[in-house]
Amino acid sequence: MAGEPPIPPFAAIIVAAGKGLRVGGATPKQFRTFRGKPVLRHSAESLLVAGAAPLVVVTSADGEDAAREALAGLSFTLARGGATRQESVLNGLEALASAAPAWVLIHDAARPDLPREVIARLLEALSHHPGAIPVLPVVDSLAVDDGAGAMAGKAAREALRRVQTPQAFRYAEILAAHRAWNGARDAGDDAQVLTVSGGSVALVEGDERLKKLTFAEDFVDADPALPAFRIGQGYDVHRLEEGEELWLCGVLVPHDKGLSGHSDADVALHAITDAVLGAIGAGDIGTHFPPSDPQWRGARSARFLEHAVSLAREAGYGIANLDLTLICEAPKIGPHRPAMRAEVARIMGLGENVVSIKATTTEKLGFTGRGEGIAAQAIVLLHKL
Ligand code: MG
């Protein structure tokens, strides 16, 4: 680009073999959408625009299709992930053997915002060090835990640095260091692998934009087109039968009959789940947990609701409040209401003050009045995170 100093030739490896479980949901975080594109594509495009060639993407066997889809149209090759991050990096380095680049950048897919200036600083440092890593100062004060949750003392933060990726290396030296690494030990990062083999690593200025995506909140898309609030309602009915347990709001309620259905038949949690799914336009409980699927037989309905709440978070929404009405002649809900409120709040990760649980009868009219079944209706309000 005009006005910017040229970047010398380099190869790059993106490690995208992790499972990214802390983020939640079924899709590993490197393939999740962030600002309109898969996380992995952001990193790949930043490296390619800066001139990376070749670009090797290391992914697990079951991530290959997702990687190809995420990177459609870009110039890259795939290498297979190993059992540890170290093994994955070594596989990526070996995949570059025929290209034998002078310099290589090793990057985590989960840091999608990669400024060109950081790449330039790293490569500049490689002219006088075999390795270079981006770091940031520690701004918070530090405390030492005595192991029992009390403060044992203070730690000086002045000499400490937070380490980011990409990490830059002279290719021949990092390849040799990784080959010599004892696979039984877990290295914190590639810089550590190089220093153990005797190579010196330069510290260059990192960038807050290189923040690692770790939690579901990190994926919140600040799309201004999303409405600030969304509302959803859910309604469900289950039949009361003898010989069944009665689960309501995740609480086992003593009663002479219980609700029948494929899961634990918790009519209240089903109505709430549908309300959450409805608010984000994600179908209904049957779409996500088909009754025809034997794995949901006898399942705890809390799982359904937890899943719906995590989908809402992925869509960029938190729950503002919930109002639930149970409709039945018996049992009496009042004595169980505090436990139900606490359990629903726990499942949804909310404070009890935003969870309302009400009950009504239908004056002995209709199926609920005759005690043939219990109905539940729920309304939730979602707010943009
Ligand atoms: Mg149901």
**10-residue block means of pLDDT along the chain (385 residues)?**
69 87 68 85 93 95 93 95 91 96 95 91 95 92 87 84 95 95 77 93 92 71 76 97 95 95 93 97 91 83 93 89 97 96 94 96 95 97 90
Cα R_g (the chain), whole angstroms: 27
Same-domain check for residues 165 and 248 = no
| pLDDT value, residue 1 | 47
How far is ligand 1, taken at its centre, from the CA of residue 295, in Å?
A: 16
Same-domain check for residues 241 and 160 = no
How far is ligand 1, taken at its centre, from the CA of residue 335, in Å?
A: 23
How far is ligand 1, taken at its centre, from the CA of residue 297, in Å?
A: 12
Same-domain check for residues 323 and 373 = yes
How far is ligand 1, taken at its centre, from the CA of residue 372, in Å?
A: 15
How far is ligand 1, taken at its centre, from the CA of residue 323, in Å?
A: 18
CATH of the domain at 64: 3.90.550.10
Same-domain check for residues 119 and 144 = yes
Same-domain check for residues 265 and 357 = yes
How far is ligand 1, taken at its centre, from the CA of residue 278, in Å?
A: 15
Domain boundary among 159, 189, 217: 217
Residue 348 CA: distances (Å) to CA of 25, 217, 356, 375: 15, 15, 13, 21
Same-domain check for residues 106 and 245 = no
Same-domain check for residues 177 and 268 = no
- Token pair 């689960």: residue: 247
In angstroms, rounded to a whole number, what is the distance separating the alpha carbons of residues 12 and 99?
A: 11
Question: What single-letter amino acid sits at 100?
Answer: A
How far is ligand 1, taken at its centre, from the CA of residue 12, in Å?
A: 51
In angstroms, rounded to a whole number, what is the distance separating the alpha carbons of residues 261 and 238?
A: 7
User: Which structural domain range is residue 291 located in?
Assistant: 229-384
In angstroms, rounded to a whole number, what is the distance separating the alpha carbons of residues 198 and 17?
A: 28
- Tell me how many domains the chain contains: 2
